[in-house]
Amino acid sequence: MAMASERIWTAALLVIGDEILSGRTQDKNIAQIAQWLNVQGIRLGEVRVVGDREEAIVEAVNALRGRNDYLFTTGGIGPTHDDITVDAIAVALDVGVVHHPRAMEALEAYYATRGGLNDARARMARVPAGADLIENRLSGAPGIRWGNVFIMAGVPHITAGMLDALTGTLEGGRPVVSRTIGCWVAESEVADLLRVTEKAHAGVAIGSYPFFREGRVGANFVARSPDEALVDACIADLSRELEASGRQVVADGI
């Protein structure tokens, strides 16, 4: 009797902000959110970047939350007029915007010794009606959860704190395990070997990441799967085949 395929949990990330699209700010959240999701047993399946335009945010939110188990957004939840993420997501969800009482309490406590809570700062307590909060121990302004949508800060170290607060709270599968080897070889020279090896190890994905360094070309190869034994077997076979062709393999990558 064939075994049922394992449930794959997926997430999407929506990065919001004109500053990302203009190049003024380099996004650092994609990598840290992807790594955190892997540990939760959730795969980051797609990433979209949009500017501070309501119609773009609304369209992206509804598309991404509909075809993934979870949607994370970063950016646009600060105190200024151009922070429109909460309003746009409320439109996407077809709900109103309210000041969350616990968010107001957290902000009042945070700003008690920092000049007090004014109208601009109180904007950071606004949430789509019916939302829960994601704890933020660093700056007082919480993240927001509405259903399968998680609205988070754009500042990476604040996002990291919000992810920490969410750790272990989302349903997912087995954590994804990865192993890396490196080799001074042109990617094109081993493309067929990578394809054959991946095909021979069902359930393992092999990523190839070429580079040019020290005047020569090389590549790192990363095997990923929720099954650690499958990853180890795949890496062992790939290493053996590369060495059999006269190439030196570097454990953990170059």
Tell me the mean pLDDT in the region 25-37.
94
Instruction: Specify the pLDDT at position 140.
Output: 85
185 CB-near residues (< 8 Å, 6+ apart)? 217, 218, 219, 242, 247
Instruction: Specify the pLDDT at position 226.
Output: 87
Sign of CA dihedral 132, 137, 139, 140: positive
Output the average pLDDT for the chain: 94
Asked whether the beta carbons of 138 and 50 are under 8 A apart, the reply is no
Give the CA count within 13 Å in the CB-facing half-sphere of 51: 7
Query: pLDDT digits over 146-187, tens only?
Result: 999 999 999 999 999 999 999 999 999 888 889 999 999 999
- Alpha helices for the chain (secondary structure H): 18-22, 29-39, 54-67, 85-93, 101-111, 119-122, 156-166, 191-200, 228-244
Query: pLDDT digits over 99-145, tens only?
Result: 999 999 999 999 999 999 999 999 999 999 999 999 998 888 999 99
Q: How confident is the model at residue 6 (pLDDT cuts 50, 70, 90)?
A: confident
Pull the structure tokens for residue 226: 């929720």
Task: Indicate the pairing of strand 149-152 with strand 126-128.
Answer: unpaired
Q: Which of these, 226, 223, 252, lies nearest to 238 by C-alpha position?
A: 223
Q: How confident is the model at residue 5 (pLDDT cuts 50, 70, 90)?
A: low
Asked whether the beta carbons of 242 and 187 are under 8 A apart, the reply is no
Pull the structure tokens for residue 76: 């646009």
Classify the phi-psi angles of 224: left when phi > 0, otherwise alpha if psi is within -120 to 50, otherwise beta. Answer: beta
Instruction: Specify the pLDDT at position 3.
Output: 42
State how far the Cα of 187 lies from the Cα of 167, in Å rounded to an integer: 37
State how far the Cα of 127 lies from the Cα of 89, in Å rounded to an integer: 9
Asked whether the beta carbons of 214 and 201 are under 8 A apart, the reply is no
Asked whether the beta carbons of 86 and 97 are under 8 A apart, the reply is yes
The pLDDT of residue 43 is above 50? yes
State how far the Cα of 223 lies from the Cα of 156, in Å rounded to an integer: 27
Percent of the chain with pLDDT strictly greater than 90: 89
Query: pLDDT digits over 191-215, tens only?
Result: 999 999 999 999 899 999 999 988 9
The pLDDT of residue 1 is above 60? no
pTM of the model: 0.80
Classify the phi-psi angles of 69: left when phi > 0, otherwise alpha if psi is within -120 to 50, otherwise beta. Answer: alpha
